[in-house]
Structure 1
Amino acid sequence: MAKRLIAFADEHPEQALAWRIVDDEGRVESGGECVIEDLPRMGGGAVVLVLPGDRVSVQRAVLTARNDKQLRAAAPFAIEDDVATDLDDVHIALGPVDSVGAKRALHVVATEYLDMWLNAFEGSGFTIMDVSADHALLPNSDNIAQVLALPQRWIASADQWSGSVDRHLGQDVLEAVLASVQPDAETEAGPDMEMLEVGDAFDYLAARTIDKHVSLLQGAYQRRNASEGAAMDWRRWRLPGALVAACGLFAIAGTAFEGAALRQKSDEARAQTETIFREAFPQVSRVVNPRAQLRTQLAGREGGASEFLELSSMLAGAVEDNEGVDVQAMRYDRGQSELQVSIAFKSYGDLTQLKDRIIASGGAVQEGGSRQSGDLRLGEITVTQP
């Protein structure tokens, strides 16, 4: 059964932080408190990061756009009067629209704070699979606010909004905040709310990470979560051509060998095939027939094998001998017939070279956002047929 490590951020990465390990059904198996370097390693260092809710505010605004890219572009202008800091210093993640269908939740976090935690984990060899605010993990109802009491804060959610209120301010302030986000639910006794009774707050929130919630890893911070089945983590592979190589190995492994030496080669090929398959599709817990399972992964969830391999081959050729670019993850969108790629690059010259090579091989490239992370920039590109 798959397990995931949940880490709860605090003020600074050098401090000890709470952690939990949960299975894929949300059961907490273990937990504790330690510094990042001493955290247990699960799934090759994959970790889900939960930020304290007082570091992530949620604004609601009316946005009209045809796609997420346009929504992200419009979001800062919609909330510029409600955010105290410079909009260039914050990252905005798109949330859902409220029950009336008028206002969209926008999760706002300081890029300096988010980068500090991402760099701390990545610098210690961890792979961040998801980031969210603790209040974003609460159940959300259109009619009643859900409130969880933490030692210093209340976290609450209501009608696609969520947030944090300092307990020292008193319950009157909490009720006033909830009344402002769900005015139709207010009664003579105050806003309609439910205080959640849980044993351990960290256990409860860790278990909630398996449910749908707003992830902060959007836009320039987007990551492909290999555990979700549609993504493939390529951090241990220099080229996405590893999957192309796997297909070649499948052909070898499917050949009838005779004699002890040839049988040994066949066994080695099958073992190498299984290794590559597990690296490409870590969400598959049991590998019985990697050749057949690869066909299922490509033709089923990942789209047509020929389209995927053609686009990934273009990418492999473009990355080859380009020491300034590393492919970190990629995902094939069958509906759009496009290969979405997360990359790390040293300079914009390296990125330009990558794009030029893809175009020269017959592909088309659309560049997404990027952000600085140490000496590298992390960004997104989309590879398609012209």
Structure 2
Amino acid sequence: MLNKQITVPLEVTTLALNNLTARFNLAGELIIEDIKGQVLETAECLAQLNKQGNLKSVLSLVWVPSQLVVLTEVFVPGKRKSDWVTALPYALEESLSEPVENLHFVPLKRHKEGMVSVAIVAHQWMQKWMDTLQSLGLNHVQLVSDCFRVPVPKNVIQLLAETESTEEHEDSKVVWNVITESTMLHIRSGSYSGFSVSESCLEPFINAIQQTGKKVSLNHLAEKHLLNSHLDFEKSISQLTLRTAAYQAQSKHLKYWQDWRWVGLFIGLILIISLVATWQKTQTLIEQTQQYQTETERLFKEMFPDVKRVVNIKMQAQTRLSNQGRGGGNTSSLIKLLQAIEPLFKAEPNIEINRIQWKADAKNEVLEVRVSAQQTSQLQTIVSMSQQQKRAAKIELELKNVTPNLVEGVFHVTAK
């Protein structure tokens, strides 16, 4: 265990940009230290880093106790990653004291010969650390075992570069880098292996290795070589993170999206449906307008067959009717009758108007509208609507020809 440390107010020490170390102790408490090992006030430190705008670069990594993380190797068959990752927990099941369901497995590296370097930690610890990070606004940081604060032994790096294998020859010397921090030894035995123990507990580990025929050489380094929590530009440490699968670090925007994605998708679906409905309604109105325009032009040409070009139907119709009126006919009655029956025919689009004839003399003024439809009831509807709506025109129906598929008739329209 580390010696008890005294929290130092932030104003007492200088907040060095590259020299802060954040770590969890064995009790699950987050500790932030400066380069001298002095413990800073957590809330004040985070507030100051946020104010400076460099929180994410200064505190990119948070170290967790290696005593709570098992780093080991195991052979896992399978070529596809999804296959061997799924099989990984069960390849270690017999050597673990807890059920695999209670443990979080992180494959750090799979070597060519099928050996997998893996980190194992209890879900309860991962959840406790995650809850603390989220409460402090540190959801961006990576969680890494603190034995990886020690540099990789040089001979291991060279061996990996030459053979891409983690196996050593029986007569080879194994070099462990060791850094003492208070009463704790942080030991790095390989690129993906290491542990932290008290000095009195180191001997059993050395004996276990030597029983395999290998000699252990301890390379003691100064405490200044321990890595801090600064942003890992080379990604060599970030790839050792314990935050995988459900614990993966997420940006704030991604987290918001995951929290609200179903609401967003639902709103998006409603907007799409609304836009489609509006488009369909608009298209229907455009088609109806075109139909009305075409029908109006057809009727206009029937009434005035000598017109060669239709430019403005309303103005041309008024001009023609005025000229006819000066010739002895009363066109004002015609216009009123046309205005009275127009809505009725719009309400019953299945009726086809074949011909319109205006008959006016000194005694009577009658508008005859020759029509056709598929059923007699459709023609009767016009008469019924005229009576119900009490329009200024009186409409009488005269049937001319009735067949199973076609009904022809004439509407006699007079003023009431």
Q: Which has the higher strand share?
A: 1
Q: Which has the higher helix share?
A: 2
Output the TM-score relative to the length of structure 1.
0.49
Output the TM-score relative to the length of structure 2.
0.46
Of structures 1 and 2, the larger Rg is shown by: 2
